Structure 1
């Protein structure tokens, strides 16, 4: 399995990740939060987030984010398991057309999906950092990751 395929497998088999964003300020400070996501047909993660959340305020100041997808569950030594950090930019998208798709993956979102303060953001994956276990660390370009995710979704 290629590195891009490993990242695609992690990304398609999970639906919760850790979102990294930057707190605005004179010196931007890293901020991490738990984030449900779904993937659209182009392999891009879609994030439904409230305008009241700290990470949303961060995104308004800095479009650059990361999304850590963890595949280490079930490993006795969690550091031996695979994980990948997707790196890219986010932009707001029209949320109405993704409602059924999002709620199918996250049914609890049905009660707040239509709230006015919730918006949907699409992440464009520019690169991904894969840690496939001890000493197996690779950067993979976004085009390869997106193509592998699309192939994985098609299967």
Structure 2
């Protein structure tokens, strides 16, 4: 039997730069949570922006199924990166972030700064950010898997992605 080849490459500066760009340029992503009602994974598309250190921020309604899921279990994953209009979608860069969600509610310390940042970066959320059931989740990155395109796979650590303050 032949030995299985490790396809994960040594993390490079190029991989770090690509990861930071994929996160900072994203306006939406696919959020995976564990549904407390069924115990099964659930995935949804969410609008995001980033905090000043490049940590993803998620604006969520209490009506969305992922909000009670994150309340019950803050462990989640966020997939970012979109394919170009043409070509095989699997050759385009993407990153999966393993995160722990931290909830910020209106009146809580830190909420106003995150709200203002969200509005600054994504002005269209003004339509609903102040509705009573909306909260902000900071998706604290614990690790990541970067697929930089065909044959370019990397495991990344928090310090590879989150920018020093």
TM-score range, shorter chain: 0.7 to 0.9
How much has 1:23 moved relative to structure 2? 0.7
Partner of 1:113: 129
Partner of 1:131: 147
Partner of 1:144: 160
| Aligned with 1:48 (options 59, 73, 81) | 59
Give 3-state SS (helix, strand or coil) of 1:37's partner: strand
Query: Quick check: 71-80 or 37-46, which moved more?
Result: 71-80
Judge conservation of contact 1:44–1:124 (CA < 8 Å) in 2: yes
Partner of 2:25: 13
Partner of 1:35: 46
| Aligned with 1:62 (options 59, 73, 85) | 73
In 1: Cα distance, 2:151 partner to 2:74 partner: 31
Q: Which has the higher helix share?
A: 1
Aligned-residue Cα RMSD (Å) equals 1.8
Judge conservation of contact 1:15–1:105 (CA < 8 Å) in 2: no
Higher alpha-carbon Rg: 2
- TM-score w.r.t. structure 2 length? 0.82
In 2: Cα distance, 1:71 partner to 1:32 partner: 16
In 1: Cα distance, 2:43 partner to 2:30 partner: 6
How much has 1:53 moved relative to structure 2? 0.7
| Count of aligned pairs between the two proteins | 148
| Aligned with 2:111 (options 95, 101, 104) | 95
How much has 1:25 moved relative to structure 2? 4.7
How much has 1:42 moved relative to structure 2? 2.2
CA distance 1:75–1:87, shift in 2 (3 Å): farther
- TM-score w.r.t. structure 1 length? 0.87
Q: Which runs of 5+ in 1 are unaligned?
A: none
